[in-house]
């Protein structure tokens, strides 16, 4: 009823803002008519998602996978989490798409069409791990504000594009360059076109990494709209917020980029440990860069039952931001002892790694299987929650599943 009243009383401009596009022939809409775009959409059909995905929010869309849906070695669109800050742009014409490079630290602004990028620069393909900085937020106590992600805001798809560093070299970057910031065509939830929903970026060293791409394909096909069609920045191993979608401008800055969601406590954690629930000043918060070591058991599902005397084969993925996972272990006795898993090398740097193990259970009863990854610097996942922080970022506690042997 509330939405119906909104339709009856709202102006066409307001409706267009809510939909994200001009309503052609809007003046001919019958009185009281509710445009389909404002009716409760089915996100599973809208985005081609598996029906077991979990919708956390629809304004903006934020949707995560369950652990077992991430069993694929390369994440498909149907199982990939969606994290938005604004309204998804509509009416995109890829043939007219451009990306402009500007900012204090470019020799001169320069604009490329999508076709320019595809034909003037060599293309590369990498599997890249993307994880929301708030993945696992729901476990923090006291509760942190934001989408209450469990474990499914992570993916590792195959991305194709051109190296951002190659384009920056073609543009011409001054020696004082410190950071790049991305800008995109998604609309702020308020409908205010002067505001950006999100405009983050990375330091120049990350921008010039071989795996940092301006990507236009995902898993060999055009990137789905919900993941940034027709062009997105890909900076694997860092919070997924650094990999901007629908990118149409890159600013090269002589300061740390100060766009939307770069300020205050956004994607920052206390520089020093704090007690749970503490208030932390903005100046005492540090920007999240490389994500911490983490792992996920994708088979079997938690709650599985097994006949006594049979072995159980488990599998999953592990990742460590900019680093590689060097060791993977599991425990069935609540972390008292740990056993080694088989661990594969990554397909390329910044891709997640696959692990597996065969487990024998000594007697009937209830068990928990805990998974622990250790990175190339010897840092292991904590068995319990890591240090609390105001926004509930970087929860990399051991993943656990429950098993009953009967």
- Supply the pLDDT for residue 22: 79
pLDDT digits (tens, 9 = 90+) for 317-367: 999 999 999 999 999 999 999 999 999 999 999 999 999 999 999 999 999
Whether pLDDT at 264 is above 70: yes
Q: DSSP for 47-105, please give it.
A: TT--TT-EEEEETTEEEE--GGGG-SSS--GGG--EE-SSBPP-S--GGG-EEEEESTT
Distance between CA atoms of residues 256 and 104, nearest Å: 12
Which of 315, 382, 393 has the alpha carbon at shortest distance from 353? 315
Whether pLDDT at 7 is above 60: no
pLDDT digits (tens, 9 = 90+) for 49-107: 999 999 999 889 999 999 999 999 999 999 999 999 999 998 899 999 999 999 999 99
Other beta carbons within 10 Å of 113: 15
Q: CA 322 from chain center: how many Å?
A: 15
- Supply the pLDDT for residue 14: 63
Which of 317, 326, 400, 315 has the alpha carbon at shortest distance from 358? 315
- Supply the pLDDT for residue 17: 63
- Supply the pLDDT for residue 70: 98
Q: What domains lie within the chain, and their CATH numbers? A: 1-39 (no CATH), 78-287 (3.90.420.10), 294-405 (2.60.40.650)
pLDDT digits (tens, 9 = 90+) for 195-243: 999 999 999 999 999 999 999 999 999 999 999 999 999 999 999 999 9
Whether pLDDT at 15 is above 80: no
**Residue 228 burial class via C-beta count within 10 angstroms: exposed 0-12, middle 13-18, buried 19 and up:** buried
Whether pLDDT at 386 is above 80: yes
- Supply the pLDDT for residue 186: 96
28 token code pair: 């001919």
Average pLDDT, the chain: 93
- CA-to-CA dists, residue 314 to 317, 329, 341, 381, angstroms: 11, 11, 9, 18
Give this prediction's pTM. 0.90
């Amino acid at each position: 009823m509330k939405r119906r009243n909104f339709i009856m009383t709202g102006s066409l401009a307001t409706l267009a803002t809510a939909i994200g596009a001009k309503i052609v022939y809007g003046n001919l809409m019958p009185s009281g008519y509710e445009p389909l775009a404002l009716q409760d959409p089915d996100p599973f059909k809208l985005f081609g998602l598996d029906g077991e995905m979990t919708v956390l929010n629809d304004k903006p869309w934020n949707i995560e996978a369950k652990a077992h849906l991430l069993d694929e070695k390369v994440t498909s669109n149907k199982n990939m989490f969606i994290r938005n800050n604004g309204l998804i742009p509509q009416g995109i014409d890829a043939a007219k798409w451009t990306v402009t490079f500007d900012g204090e630290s470019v020799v001169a602004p320069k604009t490329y069409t999508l076709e320019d990028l595809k034909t003037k620069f060599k293309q590369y393909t990498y599997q890249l791990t993307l994880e929301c900085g708030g993945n696992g937020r729901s476990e923090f106590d006291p509760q942190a504000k934001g989408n209450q992600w469990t474990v499914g805001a992570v993916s590792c798809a195959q991305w194709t594009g051109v190296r951002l560093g190659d384009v920056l070299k073609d543009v011409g970057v001054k020696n004082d360059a410190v950071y790049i910031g991305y800008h995109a065509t998604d609309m702020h939830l308020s409908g205010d076109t002067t505001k950006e929903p999100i405009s983050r970026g990375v330091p120049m060293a990350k921008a010039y990494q071989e795996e940092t791409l301006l990507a236009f394909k995902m898993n060999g096909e055009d990137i789905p709209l919900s993941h940034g069609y027709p062009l997105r920045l890909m900076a694997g191993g860092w919070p997924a917020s650094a990999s901007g979608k629908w990118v149409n401008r890159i600013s090269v800055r002589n300061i740390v980029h100060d766009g939307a969601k770069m300020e205050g406590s956004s994607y920052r954690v206390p520089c020093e440990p704090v007690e749970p629930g503490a208030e932390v000043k903005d100046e005492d918060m540090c920007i999240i860069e490389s994500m911490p070591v983490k792992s996920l058991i994708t088979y079997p599902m938690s709650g599985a039952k097994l006949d006594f005397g049979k072995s159980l084969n488990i599998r999953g993925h592990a990742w460590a931001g900019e680093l590689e996972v060097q060791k993977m272990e599991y425990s069935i006795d609540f972390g008292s002892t740990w056993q080694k898993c088989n661990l594969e090398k990554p397909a390329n740097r910044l891709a997640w790694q696959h692990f597996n193990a065969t487990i024998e259970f000594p007697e009937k009863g209830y068990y928990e299987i805990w998974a622990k990854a250790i990175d190339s610097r010897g840092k292991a996942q904590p068995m319990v929650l890591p240090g609390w922080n105001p926004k509930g970022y970087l929860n990399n506690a051991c993943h656990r599943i429950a098993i009953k042997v009967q």
